Amino acid sequence: MRIRLPLLILAVSLAATPAWAGLADRIGATFGLMESEFVKSFQPLEGMIVALDGKTLYLDFTAKDNVRVGQEFTVFRKGEVFRHPLTGKPLGRYEDVLGYAQVRRVEPRFVEATFIPNEGKVEPRAEDGVRITRGRIKVAVTPLIDLTRSNADLRRVPFLISTALDRTRRFQVADPLSVVDLFSNGSRVEEIIARPARAVEQAKSLDVAWWLVPMLIERGGVTYLDATWISAVTGTPLFSRRQPLTRPEAAEEQRFPWEPAVED
């Protein structure tokens, strides 16, 4: 579901009180510095299984493919060719999705991944394919977890992050209002991190393949924005990125065009 104009208007209406407005802006600006990293982590890529050892798969990617620990590939097997019913021209092949490969180690000449099977599917074998789709990645952004206990009103942060992801055109972001509703009915964001089955279950209602869980944390007197990506297919947290919050003036410079000024 694409983010619609009414959602942006609602995000503005949720603007924090003047004392804390700058913090939400700084978080939004900080995520803007991180978004290119996430696009790189979901670059379309296709390869092959070259060897197996139990649930460990060895993929034919090399260092030049820029595969990263934490990436998740779909494992598939090609089937029969299907043809145009009138011309008989080959149009493609049927494919059977066997499961998922989660990258655990990247070596110069191969990649090691853990296989997560789809229920009822056959085991993979050498020459089966793996890929990150060229289609837009479906993701839901949860409400922010504030571990700094700032007591700030940061309700519009997931709207800012969702907008930033959507504008990259690599991600298809779930309607933030639907996500907010999901967590207003007794569910807690922490469950998405701690309980894989819960992450999978909640994702089905939103039709997404990934969760992004933003957190505000403090380490050594420095406040950071931490963004953890969780597979909605397996419920496994696979990777995270962390960035110190921008200075207040930097946040003002990187404000989204539709946002009100801090003093509003």
Position 16 scores a pLDDT of: 38
Tokens of 11: 């995000």
The C-alpha atoms of residue 241 and residue 205 are separated, in whole angstroms, by: 26
User: Which residue(s) pair with 212 in the sheet?
Assistant: 141, 229
Position 95 scores a pLDDT of: 83
Position 184 scores a pLDDT of: 86
Q: How many Cβ atoms are within 10 Å of 59's Cβ, its own excluded?
A: 24
Position 187 scores a pLDDT of: 79
Q: Which helix (H) or strand (E) holds 52?
A: strand 45-53
Position 255 scores a pLDDT of: 54
- Whole-angstrom distance between the N-terminal and C-terminal Cα of the chain? 30
The C-alpha atoms of residue 210 and residue 176 are separated, in whole angstroms, by: 14
Position 158 scores a pLDDT of: 95
Phi/psi of residue 111, nearest 5 degrees: -125, 135
Position 151 scores a pLDDT of: 85
For every residue of 120-171, DSSP letters joined together read TPPPP-TT-EEEE-SSPEEEEEPPPEETT------TTHHHHHHHHHHHTTSE
All domains in the chain, ordered by first residue: 5-41+136-253 (3.40.50.10610), 45-132 (2.40.10.410)
The C-alpha atoms of residue 244 and residue 148 are separated, in whole angstroms, by: 13
Position 264 scores a pLDDT of: 34
Of residues 50, 51, 57, the one with CA closest to residue 72: 57
Radius of gyration of the chain (CA): 21
Instruction: Per-residue pLDDT tens, the chain, 264 aa: give them.
Output: 444 544 444 444 444 344 444 899 999 999 999 999 999 999 999 999 999 999 999 999 998 999 999 999 999 998 777 788 888 788 777 789 999 999 999 999 999 999 999 989 999 999 999 999 999 999 999 999 999 988 888 999 999 999 999 999 999 999 999 999 999 877 789 998 889 999 999 999 999 999 999 999 999 999 999 999 999 988 999 999 999 999 876 555 555 555 555 443
Position 260 scores a pLDDT of: 54
